[in-house]
Amino acid sequence: MDNTVIIVVLSAAFLHAWWNFLVRSNTDKVMAMIAMTAGHTPFAILGILYLGIPGREAVPFLLASAVLHVGYQVFLMNA
């Protein structure tokens, strides 16, 4: 396996563990989740500016991803 792939996968695992820790250790989990989501927004905007707005065929996948992420965040806040 390529070293770049290994680094990206390990970085993603570390970041997920880190933000789960930050949300779960905070007394106000809703505010912590809002802060985490707001922290991702600039990167999403940069991605859209760099890659362009996704086509119409991507809309169902974007909606499914949004629903899954909201569900994940709700479960994390209630954990």
Task: Supply the pLDDT for residue 10.
Answer: 95
- In whole angstroms, how far apart are CA 57 and each of 10, 32, 69? 30, 33, 20
Name the band, by pLDDT with cuts 50, 70 and 90, for residue 73: confident
Considering the chain, what is the average pLDDT of its residues? 90
Which sequence spans correspond to the domains of the chain? 3-78
- pTM here is 0.66
- pLDDT of residue 79 exceeding 80: no
* Spatial distance between the Cα atoms of 42 and 54, rounded to a whole number of angstroms: 17
* Spatial distance between the Cα atoms of 48 and 40, rounded to a whole number of angstroms: 13
**What are the pLDDT digits (tens) for 26-35?**
888 888 888 8
